[in-house]
Amino acid sequence: MLTKNENERFTQIGPGTPAGALLRRYWQPACIASELTEEHPKKRVRILGEDVVVFRLPAEPGEDRLRYGCLAEHCAHRGTSLYYGFLEQDGLRCAYHGWKYAPDGRCLEQPFESSPAFKERICQVAYPVEKLGGLLFVYMGPPDKRPLLPRWDVLVREDGERYIEQHPVLDCNWLQPMENTVDPAHLFWLHGHTMRLRGSHAGDIYHRPVKGFYWDVCEWGIMKLEVYDEGHVALDVMPPLVFPNILRICQHIDEAIHFRLPIDDSHTQIFCVILKPAAQKIPQPEDPPVVKLVHKDEEGEFLLDTFPSQDAMAWETQGAVANRPGEHLGSSDRGIILFRKMLSEQIDLVEQGGDPLGLVWDPAQNECISFDDETEWARWERRARETHRQDVLDILQAGISFRQGYVATVGARR
Ligand code: FES
Ligand SMILES: [Fe+2]
């Protein structure tokens, strides 16, 4: 369990909060790029408790690349929403008195001000925007500490068909889905058993006797294993929790990455980008198709007919912010304890001026970031042996390496 103060330290993410400062060191997905069209080139979004307007500018003459911007929603003059502003070639003009802002926040014009120097003192809060994998990402941290936007494999691979799943906004804090990411004990009942009761075999992979779970810190966050006992030891290796708010996962035969965007302290938006692998490279559209998920029926009851709807039920019914001072953690919750320890250490590190885990600085490393690295698998395996966990030793004695387990898991799903 956590104290009330610890719970608040992890879950409050607005400007000036410790967890907010940590999350602002990472690029966050603001919206789906194809939501911005010629007819509707602006969108209001709340990210990390801040209201912003994301917009696309008209292409420069002779250029076909779209340019994007993200400005604080309320005009620096007297606070009117820039969402209703006029888009021009070089920026966004407020509809109230016509102040115009460049995408980098500089005030370009103040039509009724006599002193040309006045606008030099005005700066609208602005955040850089980059498009990748069909999403628009923003960076809201200190400008001098801006890392590269990570090119996760699912976003950039060309050997498959990509699509985006947009979930309904979750009425709960970001930490609930993230703690679920290191909680494989939920798979048996919430997905396996629920699906079986509904006459579906979609959760059978998780509806098996469980021997144990194993977690470890890795380069990107936390890796996890689920060990099954069915007369022989079987191993399910899941790709890691990518710190601090990403789930990377194989969904049946597909490769997926789930971004859990903290909207504010009590709402979370999940965007999933999913790649259906193909045998060879295929032409990629400018924007992947989008599928909107539904979690509830007209009465507001959870449908529980899909994994995401089942997960949403579990997370939202924990409360807007889960009551961690009132919880009772057991041995199957060790992954959650490990994640909270990591979160606490990384918040401290950022407070001390350091760089948190998993930032990408090197363009050479950023061509395509995947998670099948033999050295890393071998390191995890060595560490697992050192912990003398019986369930893990059983696997290794059966002659299955972690990496073989990973390849077998992914292969079996294909
Ligand atoms: S409030 Fe925006 S120009 Fe006056
Ligand atoms: Fe789940």
Read off the tokens for 118.
């006045």
As a whole number of angstroms, the distance between CA 409 and CA 249 comes to 12
pTM of the full structure: 0.94
As a whole number of angstroms, the distance between CA 202 and CA 207 comes to 10
What is the atom index within ligand 1 of the atom nearest the CA of 110?
3
Residues 129 and 177 in one domain: no
> 77 CB less than 6 Å from ligand 1?
yes
Residues 240 and 345 in one domain: yes
Neighbours of ion ligand 2 (CB under 5 A): 311
In a domain, 9, yes or no: no
Residues 191 and 317 in one domain: yes
Domain range for 110 is: 28-138
Per-residue pLDDT of the chain (414 residues), as tens digits, is 899 999 999 999 999 999 999 999 999 999 999 999 999 999 999 999 999 999 999 877 777 778 999 999 999 999 999 999 999 999 999 999 999 999 999 999 999 999 999 999 999 999 999 999 999 999 999 999 999 999 999 999 999 999 999 999 999 999 999 999 999 999 999 999 999 999 998 888 888 888 888 888 888 999 888 878 776 666 677 778 999 999 998 877 789 999 999 999 999 999 999 999 999 999 999 999 999 999 999 999 999 999 999 999 999 999 999 999 999 999 999 999 999 999 999 999 999 999 999 999 999 999 999 877 777 777 777 777 776 666 666 666 666 677 776 666 666 555
Domains identified in the chain, total number: 2
In a domain, 157, yes or no: no
In a domain, 179, yes or no: yes
In a domain, 234, yes or no: yes
- The strand ranges marked E within 203-298 are 210-217, 221-229, 233-242, 246-251, 254-264, 267-277, 290-292
Residues 180 and 118 in one domain: no
> 83 CB less than 6 Å from ligand 1?
no
As a whole number of angstroms, the distance between CA 379 and CA 385 comes to 10
385 sits in which H/E element: helix 374-387
Which of 138, 164, 180 corresponds to the end of one domain? 138
In a domain, 227, yes or no: yes
Residues 109 and 185 in one domain: no
In a domain, 11, yes or no: no
Which of 138, 164, 192 corresponds to the end of one domain? 138
Residues 129 and 68 in one domain: yes
> 72 CB less than 6 Å from ligand 1?
no
Residues 120 and 183 in one domain: no
Best of 82, 99, 101 to mutate for ligand 1, by most ligand atoms within 8 A of CB? 99
Residues 225 and 96 in one domain: no
Residues 200 and 336 in one domain: yes
Residues 113 and 179 in one domain: no
In a domain, 380, yes or no: yes
Residues 176 and 320 in one domain: yes
